[in-house]
Amino acid sequence: MANVAGYNRKLQNILAQQELVPADQLDEMYNNANREGGYLANKIIEGDYIDEISLIGLVSEDCGIPPIDLEKINVDLDGIADMNKGELPLDEDDAKKFTMLPLAILGNNLTVAVANPYDVVTLDDMKLAIQKDIYPVLSTERAINNAIEKHYNKKDQELAAVMDNLGEMDELDDVMLSEKSDGEEGEEGDADLLAGGAGGESPAVKLVNMLILGALKDKASDIHIEPFEKRVRVRYRIDGVLQEKNPIPKRLQGALCSRIKIMTDTMNIAERGKPQDGRFQVKVGGSAIDFRVNSLPLVHGEKICMRILDKSNLAGSLESLCFEPGVLDIVRRSIAAPYGMFLVTGPTGSGKSTTLYSALQAVMTIEDNVNTVEDPVEFEIDGLNQCHVNPKRGLTFASALRALLRQDPDTIMIGEIRDKETIEIAVKAALTGHLVLSTLHTNDAPSTINRIVDMGVEPLMVASAVLAVSAQRLGRRLCNGCKVKMEPDEIPKPEELISYGYTEEEIEGIELYKPVGCSLCNGGYKGRFAMVECLEMTNELKRIVIKGGSNIELRNCGVENGMVTLRRAGLMNAMRGITSVEEVLRLSVGEEEDPNEGGGH
């Protein structure tokens, strides 16, 4: 509906009166929502300050319109159409435009779910447009949009129509090649094609567009297109877990790969025998979203993986990362140091880049020269001097760092440390008056120290250069709309809880939650949270590093000095109802399962 700013102002006043959200954070979310033209309610719910049902109840009490839980009702659009001369009073486009969902019709009376009960002008306009008396009930924008997608199914109908129109076509590569013949298609042309402009009549174009828009709607981080002998599987990575979607006909495989390559700036559609990389950008709802593409030749064709880089998902501050207080204090101390090295470790997709970009924004000032060396530059940040390495032209991490050290830097961020030469330059920079931030691929924080030593750096230099090491994983959050408290007989036995990492004091009267699943989430989970352990280089830890201590010794020293391990961080969030124990066990190992046992020097 229109007048979102008016709704946001009303909701801000309600929440301020109830004192449910800290005033400074409420003001920040209010300003961000208005700047983006979105609903403040979404920011509040995503921040876990209040669940959706409680928020609807507060607004309902203020405006006098009855609330409704769209999860618990069955919307019969066919029945509504039958009672309205065979037509829906609102088609899908109008429902989305006005954020309204028809629920029931009786004579000349139409009951609709609305997200903004205060916008009486729009309600009156709709009454005139559909010639019905409207009786509104209250929901949220997110719940209504999800219900619209669930009940209208316009995207599925379009996809089915595309498939029906393919006929007996076995190969579309000639069509795709002709689209690229002029060789002048740039970013704007790609955006137009993705929006349904020129060239949008091709079935392959439509199919790629739907795959991308579907991934954005589901808030996926990656799209996988995987060829097999008789089918092409499509999977989205949502909240860190791959989920299978509708398969693609095998005959479209070549056309699909060609279309995606055409959208990039570097990939060759005629080359199918070796891996290729590329990227493209699309604009959706006024936001520019980057896609990083990689192709890999397999037995039955090319596998395409597209990483979605949505700048709107980038955290703006360290506080917004919701780290444990102790971890946040260590990170702040590390990036406040005039020189030294702060490292973030974890697997691909664990949020390392988000942490580093947030740290960089915390240290960026007009007085400091802040620089990055990345492969590739994932997010362009105003005020950062960002260098994109290009090994084919001789611009490696090492050569870029050497040049950068002659650029009078204060802070340097290295996208990833991969080899001995890069780590040696980074350590020397950290020891000569520069703050260095970077990532490594290791299992946990303690093993990172010995990994650097294994790469050829002297233990004494490691102890002197490293300020702290943070290891992190992204776990799935339980959906606030459907999670339920586990019954006493469902909670694991005390000896099992202790084996997981809980203490005897914690398991007395412990409350744990489990996923259920609803249309607003994915199998009971919605969104993610950070599990983080942070090892600070204390004097005691330096002595262990210098004498060549093992990973076990390093970790034990860290725990004795207050370090919360990945497993403990997850278990604490399970007690808070943020996630489930099963999710914590999936992402972490216990003390007795240490993957680094026996490591060290």
The predicted model gives 461-468 an average pLDDT of 95
Sheet with 276-284, side-by-side order of all strands: 241-244, 232-238, 222-227, 301-310, 287-298, 276-284
* pLDDT at residue 536 tops 90: yes
* pLDDT at residue 272 tops 50: yes
C-alpha of 481 from chain center: 20
Of 112-116, 249-253, 308-312, which range is least confident? 308-312
- The model's confidence at residue 496, banded by pLDDT at 50, 70 and 90, is very high
By percentage, how much of the chain surpasses pLDDT 70? 87
- The model's confidence at residue 156, banded by pLDDT at 50, 70 and 90, is low
- Which position has the token pair 């129509």? 161
**284 against 448, higher pLDDT:** 448
- For the chain, what is the mean pLDDT? 83
* pLDDT at residue 82 tops 50: yes
The letter for the amino acid at 109 is N
Sheet with 411-414, side-by-side order of all strands: 385-388, 370-374, 411-414, 435-440, 340-345, 466-478, 525-536
Helix 4-18 vs helix 52-63: angle between axes, to the nearest 10 degrees? 100
Rg (CA), the chain: 27
Q: Which pLDDT score is estimated for 23?
A: 86
- The model's confidence at residue 143, banded by pLDDT at 50, 70 and 90, is confident
Q: Which two tokens stand for residue 494?
A: 């005390």
Cα–Cα distance for residue pair 240/529, rounded to 1 Å: 11
* pLDDT at residue 386 tops 60: yes
Taking only the tens place, the pLDDT of each residue in 280-336 is 988 876 677 889 999 999 999 999 999 998 766 665 667 777 788 888 899 999 999
Taking only the tens place, the pLDDT of each residue in 21-69 is 888 888 888 888 887 778 888 888 877 788 888 888 888 888 889 998 8
The predicted model gives 214-227 an average pLDDT of 91
* pLDDT at residue 597 tops 60: no
Helix 551-560 vs helix 539-546: angle between axes, to the nearest 10 degrees? 170
Q: Which pLDDT score is estimated for 526?
A: 86
- The model's confidence at residue 519, banded by pLDDT at 50, 70 and 90, is low
Q: What is the DSSP string of 333-351?
A: HHHHSSSEEEEEE-STTSS
- The model's confidence at residue 197, banded by pLDDT at 50, 70 and 90, is very low
* pLDDT at residue 154 tops 90: no
Q: Which pLDDT score is estimated for 435?
A: 94
The predicted model gives 552-577 an average pLDDT of 92
CB-CB contact of 507 with 421 (8 Å): no
Return the beta strands (E) in 65-132 as ranges.
Answer: 100-106, 109-114
Q: Which pLDDT score is estimated for 380?
A: 79
* pLDDT at residue 448 tops 50: yes
Give me the residues paired with residue 535 across strands: 469
- The model's confidence at residue 354, banded by pLDDT at 50, 70 and 90, is confident
Closest alpha carbon to 413 in 446, 368, 458:
368
CB-CB contact of 397 with 424 (8 Å): no
The predicted model gives 466-484 an average pLDDT of 90
Q: What is the DSSP string of 203-216?
A: HHHHHHHHHHHHHH
Cα–Cα distance for residue pair 15/13, rounded to 1 Å: 6
* pLDDT at residue 188 tops 50: no
The predicted model gives 250-273 an average pLDDT of 89
- The model's confidence at residue 594, banded by pLDDT at 50, 70 and 90, is low
